């Protein structure tokens, strides 16, 4: 695993936990943690449960005891590491967004296609697909329980940049992150829209906004929060991204990603209306799926609050008795389970690099539309 901060901790927890709660067909061994500072990486490896440490990711590609490389670094290094790992015959799990540009995503897909011929697999970490309520929503849509999809409205709302004095981090640097709220959290709702509906985006019209153009340089930073000093630096990405879109069926969609929504901490919401019903989800209540069945009599109709913790709901039977709830980290554990099962079955895990590329094309189209007075951009 490369990188050991926010995602590195979440992934480590998942690698450790998956074989203990699920019957995996192969036993993952947490062989090597890569970090650029030997001392800090050693401390992290000790805490997170990794056997050894390397300070250059290229070294792990030379090792015979490494079968898979898990990339938990910022987007500017994804393409280089993923392509080299695939070339070296290592399976790859790479965090989202898969890359910082469409061009990088395209070369990553080419590397993945070539590697696949040698039985070497790749996957992108769109973790929210693995939330049980999201999996249930997908099943209900596929079963026709809301009829044909008519409209999608999706939001990803956070507020950690609403304070104008919140410090700079790599997420506010276009060279490192590719884009701001758009790629960081907008990518998730783009992927979820496609995952839930089984469709692609066909075109978009977008608007990007940067409310705070200069912030204190961080003196310390962890997760999404830090402390700034007296020096200031420029913000080179968007704080908010809004766009309208059409899916391949022609269904309209409205998406909003912002890190400027005071009070919303991780409100990833998606609501899909079909010809005979609706589904709604909000990550701030992640164990719940709302389902409105329009075929029921109006007198007693209403949104049904499904607590997605029953033993026969997706993944949940491996955890706790009904009603005891799952959290953020469980999505990462389910990601490991699905990945290991695919590898053992010699199948391609999902989402694929092709899925990652399509998300990248949507992000790029939003940026181009914004730059050209919100014109419609075909994807
Ligand atoms: N799936 C999700 O829900 C989710 C959530 C948060 C972040 N992410 C993604 O995960 C990735 C990492 O984000 P994060 O929040 O963990 O960032 P972070 O800043 O918390 O951690 C990044 C880590 O990468 C290391 N690093 C950077 N460049 C490196 C290099 N060249 N070699 C070795 N290590 C290097 C840093 O030292 C740090 O340990 C990003 O792509 C981000 O978009 C995904």
Task: Quote the pLDDT of residue 55.
Answer: 97
Task: Quote the pLDDT of residue 239.
Answer: 98
Task: Quote the pLDDT of residue 366.
Answer: 98
207 in Cβ contact with 243 (< 8 Å): yes
Task: Quote the pLDDT of residue 146.
Answer: 98
Q: How many domains does the chain have?
A: 2
In Å, the largest CA–CA distance within the chain is 67
pLDDT-derived band at 94, boundaries 50, 70, 90: very high
Q: What is the mean pLDDT of the chain?
A: 98
pLDDT-derived band at 230, boundaries 50, 70, 90: very high
Residues 176 and 134 in one domain: yes
Residues 168 and 20 in one domain: no
Please give the Cα distance from 17 to 318 (Å, whole number).
11
Determine the distance separating the centroid of ligand 1 and the alpha carbon of 157, expressed in angstroms.
20
Average pLDDT over every residue of 265-287: 98
Task: Quote the pLDDT of residue 241.
Answer: 98
CATH of the domain at 179: 3.30.360.10
Determine the distance separating the centroid of ligand 1 and the alpha carbon of 32, expressed in angstroms.
16
Residues 111 and 231 in one domain: no
Among 32, 37, 73, residue to substitute to test ligand 1 (most atoms within 8 Å of Cβ): 73
pLDDT 10s digits, 32-70:
999 999 999 999 999 999 999 999 999 999 999 999 999
Average pLDDT over every residue of 103-120: 98
In the chain, the percentage of residues whose pLDDT exceeds 70 is: 100
List the one residue out of 74, 94, 72 whose CA is nearest residue 83.
94
Average pLDDT over every residue of 208-216: 97
Average pLDDT over every residue of 161-183: 97
Show the DSSP H helices in the chain as ranges.
6-21, 38-48, 57-61, 78-87, 102-117, 132-142, 174-177, 181, 187-197, 328-344, 353-371
SS3 57: helix
CATH of the domain at 40: 3.40.50.720
Helix, strand, coil percentages (3-state) for the chain, rounded to 5, are 40, 25, 35
Determine the distance separating the centroid of ligand 1 and the alpha carbon of 312, expressed in angstroms.
34
Residues 38 and 152 in one domain: no
Determine the distance separating the centroid of ligand 1 and the alpha carbon of 223, expressed in angstroms.
9
Average pLDDT over every residue of 365-377: 98
Average pLDDT over every residue of 85-100: 98
pLDDT 10s digits, 306-335:
999 999 999 999 999 999 999 999 999 999
Is the torsion defined by CA of 155, 160, 163, 169 positive or negative?
negative
Among 4, 5, 192, residue to substitute to test ligand 1 (most atoms within 8 Å of Cβ): 5
Task: Quote the pLDDT of residue 204.
Answer: 98
Residues 316 and 326 in one domain: yes
pLDDT 10s digits, 122-147:
999 999 999 999 999 999 999 999 99
CA distances (Å), origin 331, targets 28, 327, 328, 337, 347: 17, 8, 6, 10, 21
Determine the distance separating the centroid of ligand 1 and the alpha carbon of 252, expressed in angstroms.
33
Which residues have C-beta within 8 Å of that of residue 194, sequence separation ≥ 6? 200, 201, 355, 358, 359
Can you give the residue range of the structural domain that contains 363? Answer: 130-349+359-371
Domain-embedded: residue 376? no
Task: Quote the pLDDT of residue 107.
Answer: 98
Task: Quote the pLDDT of residue 263.
Answer: 98
Among 99, 128, 157, give the residue marking a domain's end. Answer: 128
Residues 82 and 140 in one domain: no
Residues 182 and 69 in one domain: no
Domain-embedded: residue 379? no
CA distances (Å), origin 194, targets 45, 298, 319: 36, 30, 28
Residues 33 and 169 in one domain: no
Residues 161 and 123 in one domain: no
* Residues pairing with 234 in the sheet: 214
Determine the distance separating the centroid of ligand 1 and the alpha carbon of 177, expressed in angstroms.
10
Kindly give the number of the ligand 1 atom that is closest to the alpha carbon of 188.
Answer: 3
Please give the Cα distance from 72 to 15 (Å, whole number).
13
Pocket (CB within 6 angstroms of ligand 1):
2-8, 34-36, 57, 72-75, 77, 95-96, 125, 127, 184
Tokens representing 192 are 């979820």
Task: Quote the pLDDT of residue 205.
Answer: 98
72 in Cβ contact with 11 (< 8 Å): yes
Kindly give the number of the ligand 1 atom that is closest to the alpha carbon of 75.
Answer: 41
pTM more than 0.75: yes
DSSP letter string over 6-26?
HHHHHHHHHHHHHHHHS--SS
Among 74, 108, 128, give the residue marking a domain's end. Answer: 128
Domain-embedded: residue 99? yes
**Total Cβ atoms within 10 A of residue 138:** 18
């Amino acid at each position: 695993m490369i990188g050991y901060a926010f995602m590195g901790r979440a992934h480590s927890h998942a690698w450790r936990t998956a074989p203990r709660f699920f019957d995996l067909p192969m036993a993952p061994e947490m062989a090597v943690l890569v970090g650029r500072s030997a001392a800090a990486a050693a401390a992290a490896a000790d805490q997170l449960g990794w056997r050894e440490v390397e300070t250059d990711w290229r070294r792990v590609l030379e090792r015979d005891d490494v079968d898979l490389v898990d990339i938990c670094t910022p987007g500017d290094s994804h393409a280089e590491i993923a392509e080299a790992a695939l070339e070296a015959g290592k399976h790859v799990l790479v965090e989202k967004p898969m890359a910082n540009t469409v061009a990088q995503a395209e070369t990553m897909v080419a590397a993945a296609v070539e590697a696949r011929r040698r039985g070497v697999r790749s996957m992108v970490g769109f973790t929210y697909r693995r939330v049980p309520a999201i999996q249930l929503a997908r099943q209900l849509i596929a079963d026709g329980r809301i009829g044909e999809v008519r409209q999608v409205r999706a939001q990803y709302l956070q507020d950690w940049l609403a304070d104008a004095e919140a410090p700079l981090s790599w997420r506010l640097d276009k060279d490192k992150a590719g884009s701001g709220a758009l790629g960081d959290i907008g990518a998730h709702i783009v992927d979820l829209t496609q995952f839930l509906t089984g469709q692609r985006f066909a075109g978009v019209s977008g608007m990007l906004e940067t409310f705070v153009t200069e912030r204190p340089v961080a003196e310390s930073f962890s997760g999404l929060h830090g402390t700034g000093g007296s020096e200031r630096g420029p913000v080179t990405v968007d704080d908010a991204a809004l766009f309208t879109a059409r899916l391949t069926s022609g269904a309209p969609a409205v998406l909003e990603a912002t890190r400027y929504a005071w009070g919303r901490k991780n409100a990833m919401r998606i609501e899909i209306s079909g010809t005979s019903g609706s589904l709604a989800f909000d990550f701030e209540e992640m164990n719940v799926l709302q389902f409105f069945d329009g075929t029921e009599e109006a007198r007693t109709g209403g949104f049904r609050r499904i607590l997605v913790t029953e033993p026969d709901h997706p993944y949940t039977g491996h955890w706790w008795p009904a009603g005891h709830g799952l959290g953020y980290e469980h999505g990462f554990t389910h990601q490991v389970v699905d990945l290991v099962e695919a590898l053992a079955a010699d199948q391609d895990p999902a989402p694929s690099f092709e899925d990652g590329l399509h998300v990248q094309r949507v992000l790029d189209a939003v940026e181009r539309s914004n730059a050209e007075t919100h014109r419609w951009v075909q994807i």
